[in-house]
Structure 1
Amino acid sequence: MKAVLDGTVIAEADRQDLISIEGNWYFPPDSVRAGVLSDSPTPYTCPWKGACQYYTVAVGDRALTDRAWAYPDPYPTAIERVGKDFSGYVAFWKEIEVVE
């Protein structure tokens, strides 16, 4: 599967390597193209997943703040609930299209 912004593939991995959580596809950290994500200071803690790291997604001259996120250290109960360790996996907001 691919995550695409403005025709540029920013993440790509086999479907079996992705994790679906609450309708979002989470890509393995090493499947995200280098240089497209930068840390955002936006704080958020999910009640069941834990502390979230937001990212700005940048392609060319376009930068979208807080349009990607990950859980670097999800709660152990969240990993149990999901059934797989999703530490550091990256999900994208609606402007980034996830396609087969």
Structure 2
Amino acid sequence: MKATVNGTVIAEAPQEDLIKIEGNWYFPPSSVNAELLTKSPTAYHCPWKGDCQYFNVQDGETSLQDRAFSYPAPYPTAFDRVGKDFSGYVTFWKEVKVTE
């Protein structure tokens, strides 16, 4: 699967390597082009996953604010709910399209 914005591949991995949580596909950290992400100061806390890290996604000269996010250190109880450790996995939204 691929996460792209305007033809630029942000992340790519086989579907079996991704984790689907609440309708979002989470990519393994090693499959994400980290050069296209910058940490955002936006704060969010999920009651069952823990603290979230948002990222801005670079689209050429434009930075798309908070279009990617991950949970660097999710609660251990979240692993039971998801069925797998998803620490550091990255998901995308809005202009970043995830396709097979």
Q: Distance in 2 between matches of 1:12 and 1:43?
A: 26
Which is richer in strand? Answer: 2
Identity of matched residues, %: 67
CA-CA distance at 1:62 after TM superposition: 1.9
Q: Distance in 2 between matches of 1:31 and 1:98?
A: 13
Q: 2:23 matched to which residue of 1?
A: 23
Please list, as runs of the form range in 1=range in 2, the aligned pairs for 1:55-70 lying within 5 A after superposition.
Answer: 55-70=55-70
Q: 2:14 matched to which residue of 1?
A: 14
CA-CA distance at 1:59 after TM superposition: 2.2
Q: CA RMSD in A?
A: 0.7
Q: Distance in 1 between matches of 2:54 and 2:34?
A: 16
Q: 1:44 matched to which residue of 2?
A: 44
The 4+ residue runs of structure 1 with deviation greater than 4 A are none
Q: Distance in 1 between matches of 2:34 and 2:65?
A: 17
Q: Distance in 1 between matches of 2:58 and 2:41?
A: 16
Q: In the alignment, residue 98 of structure 2 is paired with which amino acid? A: V
CA-CA distance at 1:73 after TM superposition: 0.3
**How many residues matched?**
100
**TM-score normalised by length of structure 2:** 0.97
Structure 1 residue runs of 5 or longer lacking an equivalent are none
Structure 2 residue runs of 5 or longer lacking an equivalent are none
**TM-score normalised by length of structure 1:** 0.97
Q: Distance in 2 between matches of 1:31 and 1:58?
A: 16
